[in-house]
């Protein structure tokens, strides 16, 4: 084989594992938007859920001090700094009424995305199954695929309040299942849960010996008086599961990569063991800033939620005017809406982009169960959201 042929194959044929996952969905969306903008079109993106407001000042100040201290410039411990672990467990106690042992039941993560992915590698072998909500955050399916396992989809339907029908999971899937991924308040549907659902999840996990991974990325971003519970507050939850807690959305810290996994000590130990082989921990200065976030005032979170609630109402009203009726979500930074009749998710998103120069995410990006829906993210400044909805009203009514 000639050298050029060899290098071509080496470069263009990734592993079979990587071949099994589609390109990360937002990468394609970003490319489309960049193309349009290069053509001079003023595109407003309501696609990705990345808060537009800055990280709260007390967190930035803590980071500034921490980053200037040479003691924080070396490799961090993968176990995490004591002050960060204690800040997390203090937050869980105060906010959710959940006791978590800071020594054995919590490990920092470089974002919830990393954590979910690494949990797949810690618990899944080829032939195993991970039960994953559909529609859902794409890493619940991409992670298992990369680990050589299989994701079995749990449909989230509007008629069941976007909760999976736990009684409908097939016996074969349950027999092979090692993990179940859940996430409430839910991306992309905005659905929230009461405690009764989590009790049923604990019962299922006990009966079928499945580790529950509850992704708690949006617990602090809620509206209309709804207060989201932690999965770990459910009786028996710590015997069967872990919760991934991210500071990304509630503290406007997506770029900082700051999260943690809390819960069952054996599962936490396995995750830690995997991590020590894969990465070198979370930057100490980020942990110090994360601790400042967790012990800091709640006011900025409430202010942010008031902003999102206002934007949510604007979007819901505008959608009603173009004939799309949705219940205002009680949590998350998304409005999940059915596409108008005669459209698929993709054709509607395309129409909105072409006619109104507004990006919405086609629901099918979140799995086959998202077909027939689209998602609007509320993380765009007020004036741009107002402009986007007025364009949608004008062009799509």
Q: Which residues contact ligand PLP by CB under 6 A?
A: 49, 111-113, 137, 183, 187, 215, 217, 246, 248, 254, 259
CB nearer to ligand PLP: pick between 124 and 259: 259
Give me the residue whose beta carbon is nearest to ligand PLP: 111
Residues 6+ apart with CB under 8 A from 64: none
CB nearer to ligand PLP: pick between 162 and 391: 162
Q: How far is the CB of 215 from ligand PLP (least distance, A)?
A: 5
Q: How far is the CB of 201 from ligand PLP (least distance, A)?
A: 16
Token reading at 393: 């009203």
Give me the sign of the Cα torsion angle 72, 76, 77, 78.
positive
Distance CA 263, CA 233 (A): 10
Q: How far is the CB of 374 from ligand PLP (least distance, A)?
A: 16
CB nearer to ligand PLP: pick between 116 and 356: 116
CB nearer to ligand PLP: pick between 56 and 137: 137
CB nearer to ligand PLP: pick between 178 and 249: 249
Residues 356 and 347: beta-carbon distance below 8 Å: no
CB nearer to ligand PLP: pick between 222 and 248: 248
**329-341 residues labelled b (16+ CB within 10 A) or e (exposed):** bbbbbbbbbbbee
Q: How far is the CB of 25 from ligand PLP (least distance, A)?
A: 11
Q: How far is the CB of 306 from ligand PLP (least distance, A)?
A: 21
Distance of CA 299 to the CA centre of its chain: 23
Q: How far is the CB of 290 from ligand PLP (least distance, A)?
A: 11
Q: Where are the beta strands (DSSP E) in the chain?
A: 44-45, 106-109, 129-134, 150-155, 177-182, 211-216, 241-246, 259-263, 334-338, 358-359, 361-362, 373-377
* β 177-182/129-134 pair status: parallel
Residue 355 φ then ψ, to 5°? -85, -40
């Amino acid at each position: 084989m000639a050298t050029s042929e060899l290098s071509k194959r080496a470069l263009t044929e990734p592993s079979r594992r990587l071949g099994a996952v589609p390109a990360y969905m937002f990468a394609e969306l970003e490319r489309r938007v960049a193309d349009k903008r290069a053509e001079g079109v003023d595109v407003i993106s309501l696609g990705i859920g990345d808060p537009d407001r800055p990280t709260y000042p007390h967190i930035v100040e803590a980071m500034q001090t921490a980053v200037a201290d040479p003691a924080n410039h070396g490799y961090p411990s993968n176990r995490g700094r004591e002050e960060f672990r204690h800040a997390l467990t203090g937050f869980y106690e105060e906010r959710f009424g959940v006791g978590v042992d800071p020594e054995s039941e919590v490990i920092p993560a470089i974002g919830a995305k990393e954590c979910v992915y690494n949990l797949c590698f810690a618990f899944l072998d080829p032939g195993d199954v991970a039960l994953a909500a559909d529609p859902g955050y794409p890493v619940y399916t991409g992670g298992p695929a990369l680990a050589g396992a299989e994701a079995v989809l749990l449909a989230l339907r509007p008629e069941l309040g976007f909760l999976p029908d736990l009684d409908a999971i097939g016996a074969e899937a349950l027999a092979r299942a090692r993990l179940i991924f859940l996430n409430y308040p839910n991306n992309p549907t905005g659905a929230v849960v009461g405690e009764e659902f989590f009790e049923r999840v604990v019962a299922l996990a006990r009966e079928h010996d499945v580790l529950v991974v509850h992704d708690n990325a949006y617990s602090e971003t809620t509206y209309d008086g709804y207060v989201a519970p932690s999965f770990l507050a459910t009786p028996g939850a710590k015997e069967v599961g872990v919760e991934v807690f991210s500071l990304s959305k509630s503290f406007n810290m997506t770029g900082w990569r700051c999260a943690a996994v809390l819960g069952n000590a054996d599962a936490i130990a396995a995750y830690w063991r995997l991590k020590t082989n894969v990465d070198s921990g979370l930057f100490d200065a980020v942990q110090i800033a994360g601790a400042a976030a967790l012990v800091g005032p709640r006011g900025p979170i409430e202010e942010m939620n008031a902003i999102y609630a206002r934007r949510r109402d604007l979007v819901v009203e505008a959608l009603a005017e173009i004939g799309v009726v949705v219940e205002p979500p009680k949590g998350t930074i998304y409005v999940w809406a059915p596409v108008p009749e005669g459209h698929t998710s993709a054709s509607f998103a395309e129409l909105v982009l072409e006619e109104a120069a507004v990006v919405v995410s086609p629901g099918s990006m979140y799995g086959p169960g998202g077909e027939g829906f689209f998602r609007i993210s509320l993380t765009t400044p007020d004036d741009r959201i107002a402009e986007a909805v007025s364009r949608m009203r004008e062009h799509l009514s």
